[in-house]
Amino acid sequence: MALLKKSKTALPAILAITLIALAIVGFSYAHWYENLWLTGEVKTGNLCARFWGIVTRTDTGKDWTCDEGFNNVRQINKDIGSSNAYFIDTNKDGCNDTLVVELNNVYPCYYEHMAFWIHNCGTIPWKIVRVNFTTPYETKSITKPSYLTLDLNGDKKADIELYWGNNFGQQVDPCGRVDISFDIHVLQPCPENTKLKFTATIIMVNWNE
């Protein structure tokens, strides 16, 4: 009867296979870990614009008049019509953002010129890109010096013409301000015994847009 001999290589082979298997499944031990975290802080700028001061008007006494297209502007020897303008804060953020214009007892060929300042109350420069004119019956926008007409009583006829001619695209730095002005001419279809009113809202964007 033959005796079986134990193999001298069986145990080392088993250990080698076990180590290989552990290495394959990613087994590890006695490792230390250290994490390095990168943090940062970003502070954004503030885009802010507001009307500044008061609105100045040409008609502070005797009336002014002109022909269509703002030709032949001149003062006359009568004080009949008048205008008023003031600022309001429509979005309740503490800054006036809309100009309200009222025309009182005016008539065809009545002329007015208004001017005001806009102040950069933020921390980054901006530029004017659009002006929206709104009545109860329509809204019109301009993006460059332009003439436009507005219907103020809903009869689909132009009651006034405006000329807005300056400061589109001009960079205004923080704490800076820019002078804005425009002309108003009352046209023939203007209704009698009616208080005429419209608003102007100026749209700005950061200067690099």
Q: Measuring CA to CA, which residue among 48, 38, 58, 142 is closest to residue 91?
A: 48
Instruction: Please write the tens of the pLDDT for every residue from 110-129.
Output: 999 999 999 999 999 999 99
- Total-model pTM: 0.78
Give the per-residue pLDDT at 200: 94
Q: Measuring CA to CA, which residue among 30, 133, 50 is closest to residue 95?
A: 50
Residues of the chain with pLDDT under 70: 1-30, 209
Instruction: Please write the tens of the pLDDT for every residue from 12-21.
Output: 666 666 666 6
Euclidean distance between the first and the last CA atom of the chain, given in angstroms as a whole number? 99
Token digits for 190? Answer: 């203007």
Domains of the chain by residue range: 49-206
- In order of 26, 30, 38, 68, the CA distances from 35 in angstroms are 20, 17, 10, 76
Residue 187: which residues within 8 A CB-CB, separation 6 or more? 68, 108, 149, 158, 159, 160, 161
The angle formed by the CA atoms of residues 154, 155 and 159, to the nearest 5 degrees, is 85
Token digits for 109? Answer: 């060929």
